Structure 1
Amino acid sequence: MSETTQIGLSTADYFFDLPQELIAQDPLEKRDECRLLVIDKETGKTKHKIFSDIIDYLEPGDCLVLNNTKVIPARLLGEKEGTGAAVEILLLKRKENDIWETLVKPGKKLRPGARVSFGGGILTAEILDIVEDGNRLVKFYYEGIWEEVLDRLGEMPLPPYITHKLKDKNMYQTIYAKYEGSAAAPTAGLHFTDELLKRISDKGVDMAFVTLHVGLGTFRPVKVTNVKEHHMHTEWYQVTAEAAEKINRAKENGHRVICVGTTSCRTIESAADENGRLSECSGDTSIFIYPGYKFKVLDCLITNFHLPESTLVMLVAALAGRENILAAYEEAIKEKYRFFSFGDACFITDRME
């Protein structure tokens, strides 16, 4: 049996037919009123709930891990100097001295040496070099404070499948977003409100905040036939001493570590040693989790509904089993759950009651 004929190692094993109308275009006004599909990771059994019911599935001593990254308004629309042609630059990764790794459109017309103007010259950019995957290294020139200039000129970098314009930038931001650096939101966290987090805390559930700056690799399709050949892009993460201590304590005391979102999951799985213990650390991760992976720390996962054949659907299949996930997704489609960034949520758990 060749590798790609083994169930779960072919990208096509993660295909499902998703009606276009189920892709959520707008966030709900009340974040915690979206639907919640609870999935038993062992049996695949499901229950239909509302997101605020998540508190009923959390127990005192559990540790909830949340990603406190903050999305920057990373989409800049400008004009190529000399021709006036429309240009879009998407900020991916900050380097040094106002140099960023970016995604540019149209790429063919923006060779090294080309210059772009934004906001009538408030901000200008020079293309320095072409790097991996056709991304560009770009140096920016401006007066004043970078964050203020970006806030004034930039737009939220919504995923390509969202075509509606966002009425309020903060709706694509978790309520606990703190450290700027993401090109996309850790969307599982969008469902939490201050009130719900307070109720969870009052119940005796610990909260550990980690940081992973989400890159656009999140939306990059898997183009290879064999899952193992897919190349993940690196993303920067940080685990503080306080977060590590809370997560370790939950494990030592026989409680569960429950990640909010795939980014929190990838952070702690990257940071843990072979015994599943964490310590204060930071670095780049390109961890790719797919069926066959043995989780070192994570027990349960709160996440949204993901794209067919994506690395994210492979990650949830690693936790709950491919057949369980595909069956749960089929049920969600039948029940008209809303998919992707502004959609509904699921909770993959080891305890249904």
Structure 2
Amino acid sequence: MERHIDISEYDYPLPEERIARFPLAERSASKLLVWQAGTIEERHFSDLGEVLPAGQLLVFNNTRVIRARIIMHKPSGARVEVFCLEPHDPADYERAFAVTGSCTWNCIVGNLKKWKEGCVAIDFDYEGRAEQLRAWRVGDEGREQTVRFEWTAPMTFGQLLEYLGRIPIPPYLNRESEEIDNTRYQTVYSKIEGSVAAPTAGLHFTPELIAQMEARGFGFEEVTLHVGAGTFLPVKEEDAARHAMHTEHFEVRRPTVAALLEKWGAVTAVGTTSVRTLESLAALAWRIRRTGSPDAERVIGQWELYDIPSSFTGREALETLLRYMEEHGLDRLKAATQIMITPLGYEFRIVRNIVTNFHQPSSTLLLLVAAYAGEEWRHIYDYALTHDFRFLSYGDSSVLMR
């Protein structure tokens, strides 16, 4: 099928002063734009429980941002920044954070021209002893480098990152990370380490707001999708359909699939990463329907969901997935996705409503919003721009209900 998306149609002027460079003092004090079938209302995020239809099931992405940026030096003194993207060996996140002594990661390297060969290192004190972390480039994948780390301290790689690393705040904030980012660039429900960017729609939630909404009858479930640096990659192709989507790893538990099935038609995704995870479940279910297996080792392709017949509903997808997990005694499913949700006739099967921040011009995240809201995305963003809404990761929020 021929696909074409003129990315210039999804551009808009975003003045620098509209980008929120720091979070508000109170998470839930941010503004909330409520879009419902063409109408717009202004509220505060703390009003979310009054805005959403009663009985909704909200789905969080419980990934936790790792301190992925490590500043190291050549013996000459040259500064090299190593930005850990995803584990290479061992390739599983859980194992990669638990190893001691050495491991290999796929990384982006700053000041790469200064690191042609040899190792870079950082000396540090740990429990009163002098320790060292060293790194070597062992592979080149174009934009990414394969980097082997070795360290002397008696700690896991996860502990090492927590000890030496820095929180990788988005590049468009144009500043170094500060102490406030260590807590505020994490959701209050973050649990599973692995992201290099926060699922920012969730940054507005507080434990008090979640408790208030639970008391009003709202349900909450969690999925895990580790957000990669590719989420910030601009669409450079004039035809966005030629943009190569990045791969992101996700996990969903069987009780969550059961809850989604029970609440099908009343599912609110908190953030685009939750949307991508939930919608990807339909691809796994369709594979089961066709071949008897979700083939979870194979990445869900960029356009795979567009090839699923409209007659295969979200309810059928969840029933198929739940039955497979029950029959095979699976408590959870792990997979990876490259899906690209665009206005090219994408059919939302699992997600009913979306809570999301305001995204960069000409981005795949804005294409996702346009896929959901249609041409109304212009109305939404025009309103936000002319009514003092703050944009991007630390900015204000919206809830979209069509």
Question: 1-side partners of 2:65 and 2:132: how far apart?
Answer: 22
Q: CA RMSD in A?
A: 1.5
Alignment of 1:1-353 (within 5 A): 4=4, 9-40=5-36, 42-43=37-38, 45-80=39-74, 82-97=75-90, 98-111=103-116, 113-120=117-124, 122-131=132-141, 133-142=142-151, 143-145=153-155, 146-164=157-175, 165-168=177-180, 169-251=182-264, 255-272=265-282, 273=285, 274-276=312-314, 277-278=317-318, 279=321, 280-291=332-343, 292-321=345-374, 323-350=375-402
Check 1:3–1:137 CA distance in 2 against 1; reply closer, same or farther (3 A cut): closer
Question: 2-side partners of 1:262 and 1:105: how far apart?
Answer: 28
CA offsets 1:289-342 (integer angstroms, 9 cap, x no match): 010211111111000000000000000100001x21112111111112110000
* Partner AA of 1:26 in structure 2: F
Question: 2-side partners of 1:71 and 1:246: how far apart?
Answer: 26
Percent of pairs identical after alignment?
38
Q: TM (normalized to structure 1)?
A: 0.92
* Partner AA of 2:197 in structure 1: A
Question: 1-side partners of 2:397 and 2:230: how far apart?
Answer: 21
* Partner AA of 1:219 in structure 2: F
Structure scoring higher RCO (CA < 8 A, sep ≥ 6) equals 1
The number of residue pairs the alignment matches comes to 336
* Partner AA of 1:303 in structure 2: T
When structure 1 is superposed on structure 2, of 204-213 and 93-102 the one drifting more is 93-102
| Moved >4 Å (runs of 4+) | none
Question: 1-side partners of 2:112 and 2:382: how far apart?
Answer: 38
Q: Which runs of 5+ in 2 are unaligned?
A: 91-102, 125-130, 286-311, 322-331
Question: 1-side partners of 2:263 and 2:123: how far apart?
Answer: 50
Question: 1-side partners of 2:280 and 2:122: how far apart?
Answer: 38
Q: TM (normalized to structure 2)?
A: 0.81
* Partner AA of 2:258 in structure 1: E
Question: 2-side partners of 1:119 and 1:259: how far apart?
Answer: 43
In 1, are the aligned partners of 2:65 and 2:194 still within 8 Å (CA)? yes
Question: 2-side partners of 1:326 and 1:108: how far apart?
Answer: 42
* Partner AA of 2:355 in structure 1: I
Check 1:340–1:119 CA distance in 2 against 1; reply closer, same or farther (3 A cut): farther
In 2, are the aligned partners of 1:236 and 1:285 still within 8 Å (CA)? yes
In 2, are the aligned partners of 1:259 and 1:300 still within 8 Å (CA)? yes
